[in-house]
Amino acid sequence: FQPKYLEGKRVLITAGPTFEAIDAVRGLTNRSSGRMGLAMAQAALEAGTRVTLICGPICLPLPAVHKFVQVVSAEEMLAAVKNEVDNSDIFISVAAVADYRPAEYHASKLKKKEQNITLTLVPNPDIVRYVASLPNPPFCVGFAAETDNIEQYAAEKRSRKKLPLIVANHATEAIGADASTLMLLDEEGTHHLPKVDKSVQARLVMAHIAHLYDNRKNN
Ligand code: C5P
């Protein structure tokens, strides 16, 4: 039994990796499986919310969300978020958005050469930062996967991106795994979650989001 903490609230979630095309057949991506994002969507449904899920390329069965939007690149994910954000009370940015995309896209397959080649990358927009900086933003939750100095880097990200809550984990433990250790960083400090299945962790994170959402300053 899960309490309906957030009955009727509208939750927007991004999940999975993004894929940044180089040419017709190649691209850059990362090892995010989408598992945590989907677990958050399921936990949000159990909490009684209306869920819109915007997802990069993943190969997992989807929870029965109210609206699903499939995207490929970070720019497409940003466009989809812009379409949905006005109808959201809470934004949970779980997606592992690629930090860079190739400066140029080649519509035909590039031919192989015998020498080194150089790929120029340009930074992608920071989606959660964009949302958190809107004049009247939804309650924004970020995720941070790190390999070193997890807590310090996550705390810096939380303040840089102006997020009331960031969920931090160990990148190599988390990517594709069923369980990893999570830390919740909010204005009160750091809370450690047990190393349990992602679906259980997602429910604990959702309960914490509900607690902070109910106690937010501009309530
Ligand atoms: O800066 P970093 O990528 O580690 O931050 C992770 C958090 O920021 C996650 O919540 C992720 O969804 C979000 N993010 C984003 N757009 C980006 C990069 C990260 O929304 N371009």
Q: What is the mean pLDDT of residues 96-105?
A: 98
pLDDT at site 54: 98
Closest ligand 1 atom to Cα of 99:
21
Q: How far is the CA of 178 from the centre of ligand 1 (A)?
A: 21
Pocket of ligand 1, candidates 94, 126, 149: which has the most ligand atoms within 8 Å of its Cβ, to mutate? 126
* Atom 13 of ligand 1: nearest residue by CA position: 128
pTM summary value: 0.95
Q: For the chain, give the percent of residues with pLDDT over 90.
A: 87
Nearest Cα residue to 90 out of 186, 12, 161: 12
Q: Residue 123 forms beta bridges with which residues?
A: 100
pLDDT at 141 over 60: yes
Q: How far is the CA of 9 from the centre of ligand 1 (A)?
A: 23
Q: How far is the CA of 28 from the centre of ligand 1 (A)?
A: 16
Of the ranges 3-7, 97-101, 144-148, 214-218, the best mean pLDDT one: 97-101
ipTM: 0.97
Is 149 noted as a catalytic residue in this protein? no
pLDDT at site 89: 98
* Atom 9 of ligand 1: nearest residue by CA position: 143
pLDDT at site 50: 98
Q: Which of 30, 116, 136, 169 is catalytic?
A: 30
Is 157 a pocket residue for ligand 1 (Cβ < 6 Å)?
A: yes
pLDDT at site 218: 56
pLDDT at 128 over 80: yes
- The 3-class secondary structure across 130-178, one letter per residue, is HHHCCCCCCEEEEEEEECCCHHHHHHHHHHHCCCCEEEEEEHHHHCCCC
Is 78 a pocket residue for ligand 1 (Cβ < 6 Å)?
A: no
pLDDT at 110 over 60: yes
Q: What is the mean pLDDT of residues 207-211?
A: 96
pLDDT tens digits, one per residue of 43-94: 999 999 999 999 999 999 999 999 999 999 999 999 999 999 999 999 999 9
Out of 3.40.50.720, 3.40.47.10, 3.40.50.10300, 3.40.50.2000, select the CATH number for domain 10-104+119-214: 3.40.50.10300
pLDDT tens digits, one per residue of 15-30: 999 999 999 999 999 9
Closest ligand 1 atom to Cα of 129:
20
